């Protein structure tokens, strides 16, 4: 696998592989000598395991780490633990090294390395949020009439963990999330968020009713759109072509939210590379909805928020720690006693 990664990166003039290591002990020794800008790390290693090596790399060297993850349930779980421990992003190993076309993976890895080289390395909080047992869905979830739509990419797992863990358990809008993540990982990611949040969180299924106090995560590899049917807001999933390289695309979600909810929508763009979400957030803004972007200081990568701000799509720029407080307070103001009025 190390040879495959080196081969994939040799084609790029702006990327140089300065060293490889067969385990965490050798890796830490070589980091002292080579002083790289970015580290790719397999969590499955002999001697010093990948999790211990990751903690040392983040704590002692403050280097951005991209995890190389197995495309398995166990691999997904280890990946999310690694992201919570301070890794910036991840790529998946090809399932068949010698028969899988590597062009797409190579391009993805190279772009993530370029982004990671500019990312902010954040040590994890001393005390991680408490994981709860997964709760069964309520027997009858009330259909939502207001929607919060969230776009996020690099740095997103930790940002969403923090944001959703602080949302009130009686939150009334439905929440729709596009997190750029490969197919096969979003289900476990949604389960992990569900254990952190007071509201219900799950991976979206085609035809889901958007319900109050429920967050739906777009499945990897499928677009998620909002539609109206029989007086309810529903989720539609599709395998339509990627939009500017993304499926799911935040622009696809946001534009459907603007069409179907308009002024009763709140759009948010959080940390991430690229420009996905900027055009869609502008559509929500122009439809009379409210729009937020994460500030540069709290973003791991500021590409997506910056693009939305430069497009003139953002009403308010907030730090990540301010966002949940703002959402809770805003939602409380929207629902005065005896009424239900969305006020931007």
82-91, 123-132, 179-188, 254-263: segment of lowest average pLDDT: 123-132
Residue 335: per-residue pLDDT = 41
19, pLDDT greater than 90: yes
| The pLDDT value given to residue 225 | 98
More confident residue, 185 or 338: 185
Domains of the chain: 2-118 (3.40.50.2300), 147-334 (3.40.50.180)
Pick the range with the lowest mean pLDDT from 91-105, 231-245, 282-296: 91-105
- Tens digit of pLDDT for each residue in 154-190? 999 999 999 999 999 999 999 999 999 988 899 999 9
Cβ partners under 8 Å of residue 64, min gap 6: 37, 38, 39, 88, 116, 117, 119, 121
119-128, 243-252, 328-337: which has the minimum mean pLDDT? 328-337
Six token digits for residue 289: 């909805």
pTM recorded for the entire structure: 0.89
Output the pLDDT for position 152.
98
Residue positions annotated with a catalytic role: 153, 180, 276
Identify any residues that bridge with 69 across adjacent strands, giving them in sequence order.
Answer: 92
Instruction: Judge contact between 119 and 37, C-beta under 8 A.
Output: no
336 pLDDT tier (thresholds 50, 70, 90) = very low
Cα 274 to Cα 128, 246, 318: the distances in Å are 29, 10, 19
Cα→Cα distances 65→20, 88, 104, 160, Å: 14, 6, 20, 19
Query: In the predicted model, is pLDDT for residue 93 greater than 60?
Result: yes
For 119-231, where are the alpha helices, taking DSSP H only? 156-165, 186-196
Query: What's the rounded Cα separation, in Å, for the pair 158 and 300?
Result: 10
């Amino acid at each position: 696998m190390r040879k495959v990664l080196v081969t994939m990166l040799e084609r790029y003039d702006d990327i140089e592989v300065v060293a490889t290591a067969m385990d965490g002990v050798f890796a830490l020794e070589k980091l002292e000598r080579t002083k790289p800008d970015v580290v790719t790390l397999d969590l499955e290693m002999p001697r010093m395991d990948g999790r211990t090596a990751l903690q040392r790399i983040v704590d002692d060297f403050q280097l951005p780490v991209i995890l190389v993850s197995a495309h398995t349930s166990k691999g997904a779980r280890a990946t999310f633990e690694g992201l919570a421990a301070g890794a910036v992003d991840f790529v998946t190993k090809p399932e068949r090294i010698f028969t899988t076309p590597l062009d797409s993976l190579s391009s993805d890895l190279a772009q993530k390395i370029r982004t990671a080289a500019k990312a902010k390395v954040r040590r994890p909080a001393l005390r991680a949020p408490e994981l709860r047992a997964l709760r069964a869905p309520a027997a009858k979830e009330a259909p939502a009439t207001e929607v919060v739509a969230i776009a996020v990419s690099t740095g997103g797992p930790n940002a969403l963990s923090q944001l959703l863990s602080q949302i009130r358990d009686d939150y009334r809008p439905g929440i729709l999330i596009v997190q750029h993540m490969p197919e096969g990982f979003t289900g476990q990611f949604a389960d992990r968020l569900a254990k952190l949040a007071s509201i219900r969180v799950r991976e979206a299924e085609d035809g889901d009713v958007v319900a109050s106090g429920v967050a739906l995560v777009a499945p990897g590899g499928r677009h998620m759109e909002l539609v109206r049917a029989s007086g309810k807001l529903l989720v539609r999933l599709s395998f339509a072509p990627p939009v500017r390289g993304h499926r799911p695309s935040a622009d696809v979600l946001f534009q459907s939210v603007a069409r179907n909810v308009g002024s009763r929508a709140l759009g948010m763009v959080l940390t991430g590379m690229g420009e996905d979400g900027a055009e869609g957030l502008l559509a929500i803004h122009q439809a009379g909805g409210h729009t937020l972007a994460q500030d540069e200081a709290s973003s791991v990568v500021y590409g997506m928020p910056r693009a939305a701000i430069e497009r003139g799509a953002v009403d308010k720029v907030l730090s990540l720690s301010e966002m949940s407080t703002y959402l809770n307070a805003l939602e409380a103001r929207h629902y005065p006693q005896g009424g239900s009025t969305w006020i931007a």
